Amino acid sequence: MKTFLFAILIICFVGAQATIPELAQRSSSKNRIVLGFPAKPKQFPWQVSLNGYNSDGNRGICGGSVISPDWILTAAHCVTGKVRMEVLLGSIVRDQPELRLESETFFHHANYKPLLLENDVALIRLPYSINYTENILPIALPPRQFSDELFVNAKAVVSGFGRINDSPGSTVSPTLNWANIRIITNQRCNESYSDEREYEDIYDSTICGVGFDFDNQSTCNGDSGGPLVLRQDNDIPIQIGVVSFVSNYGCASGNPSGYARITKFLDWIEDNSGVTSP
């Protein structure tokens, strides 16, 4: 498919000391998701941070979202090769969670293609049903009536604890950050990546976006698996995407960021977790 996807496999996974390697030429401000804004307490109560551990103890950092008292939604490449997942909930300070849990029950979509990042979604089952608090609340899935909605030109919000720039040696942010994203057509996304792909076009199950306030606002390493959220006309937030990739040219390149399109996975989520869309 696209050469830019190969490098994205390292957006989430980092070394034993959680240092993030330099991206392979093309990838995935002060304490910000790239050119975004610092989050306020309770602003994104569905946001989680994940530490995924390999059998050798190496750790990878990703994001995710609370979709029920029992389930976390994240990206498939965040759980691949992992033997346990640590879930941090309820705080905008990554190392000071309100709740810290561990799970060994997680799985990705059966048709996930790691080299192409197709069907890049996964579920993590929590070890017990959590109690919601003012800092820990679920994000709703998109209604079934939106199954064919493309959301083009809509303003969505992405949040995460990922890197704030492309500088070599930079690490994930200690605090939660967010950015406004303008949804674009897959055709425009294809055109943006015309020199970064080798095989097929952007999949229908992918949603793409560019910075809303600044051209080069984007997600970055450590944000993978996190939620792309849209507020409906009634102001109720719904999750429409899962952070999947950015351009190999860098998080701040101005090229679109890519997300697994949740409307294409509602059946899979319901069949495997019992969580339904409104």
Catalytic residue among 27, 28, 49, 120: 120
Type of residue numbered 24:
A
Which CATH number characterizes residue 211's domain?
2.40.10.120
Active site residue 109: no
| pLDDT at residue 88 is higher than 50 | yes
Q: What is the pLDDT of residue 115?
A: 79
Non-local (6+) Cβ contacts of 81 within 8 A are 13, 54
Q: Report the mean per-residue pLDDT for the chain.
A: 86
Question: What's the predicted TM-score (pTM) here?
Answer: 0.88
Query: Using an 8 Å Cβ cutoff, are 45 and 134 in contact?
Result: yes
Out of 26-35, 73-82, 102-111, 142-151, least confident range: 26-35
Question: 233 in a domain, yes or no?
Answer: yes
* Distance, CA of 259 to CA of 245 (rounded, Å): 7
Active site residue 108: no
DSSP string, 150-213: --TT-EEEEEES--SS--TT----SB-EEEEEEEE-HHHHHHHTTTTBSS-PPPTTEEEEEESS
Catalytic residue among 68, 224, 253, 257: 224
Query: Using an 8 Å Cβ cutoff, are 92 and 100 in contact?
Result: no
| pLDDT at residue 114 is higher than 90 | no
Catalytic residue among 77, 108, 192, 253: 77
Question: 9 in a domain, yes or no?
Answer: no
Tokens of 49: 């941070």
Q: What is the pLDDT of residue 24?
A: 25
| pLDDT at residue 152 is higher than 60 | yes
Q: What is the pLDDT of residue 60?
A: 94
Question: 12 in a domain, yes or no?
Answer: no
Q: What is the pLDDT of residue 112?
A: 95
Burial letters for 46-64: b for 16+ Cβ neighbours within 10 Å, e otherwise? bbbbbbbbeeeebbbbbbb
* Distance, CA of 135 to CA of 92 (rounded, Å): 9
Question: 231 in a domain, yes or no?
Answer: yes
Q: What is the pLDDT of residue 197?
A: 54
Per-residue pLDDT, averaged over 48-66, amounts to 96
Number of domains in the chain: 1
Question: 1 in a domain, yes or no?
Answer: no
CA angle, 50 as apex, 78 and 177 as ends, to 5°?
105
Question: 45 in a domain, yes or no?
Answer: yes
Domain carrying residue 151: 38-273
DSSP state of 270: H
Residue located via tokens 């957006």: 11
Q: What is the pLDDT of residue 14?
A: 38
Non-local (6+) Cβ contacts of 110 within 8 A are none
Query: Using an 8 Å Cβ cutoff, are 159 and 177 in contact?
Result: yes
Query: Using an 8 Å Cβ cutoff, are 145 and 14 in contact?
Result: no
Question: 99 in a domain, yes or no?
Answer: yes
**Which pLDDT band holds residue 270 (cuts at 50, 70, 90)?**
very high
Per-residue pLDDT, averaged over 70-98, amounts to 97
Question: 77 in a domain, yes or no?
Answer: yes
Active site residue 215: no
